Amino acid sequence: MPSPHPLQPPEEAPPFSYVEGRAEVRSDRLRRPHLLYFYPKDDTPGCTREACAFRDAWTEFEAAGLKVVGVSPDTEASHEKFRRKHQLPFPLIADAGAALARAFGVYGEKKFMGRSHEGVHRVSFLISPEGRILKTYPKVKPDEHARQVLEDLSTPTD
């Protein structure tokens, strides 16, 4: 089984799109920076904690001008149920077959309880409005990730 190899700055992000309201947002027409966060499965403990942390800090992300978008291999129906149940204010991309996860290099071997299987790794990407990866977060901790991203946004770069 292949190991994941997440894309790194300043690589170009693979194309992606999502629906917000009734409009389709495409990665070749971004108007502001995006945090694309990949997660394994809707409504599991770690994934729920991570999503709710983004929800709870939503006004800070909005004030910072950063759009948060979640991605998992779950279906649109599963995403809608997850969004409603936890009142998530951001879109979720249904990545059936994990094509987007593979393109970003976050699909590969995982180990759980001594067994290996393939799946989506919890990795996030900060993407510029021009579609370049600004930062890769390879080892995300669900409870800390939203704060980490906000801290990075408030830290001046050289």
Q: Annotated active-site positions, please?
A: 47
As a whole number of angstroms, the longest Cα–Cα distance in the chain is 44
Residue showing tokens 């997440």: 6
Residue 147 is given by DSSP the state H
Q: At what angle do helices 45-56 and 145-154 cross, to 10 degrees?
A: 40
The C-alpha atoms of residue 26 and residue 18 are separated, in whole angstroms, by 7
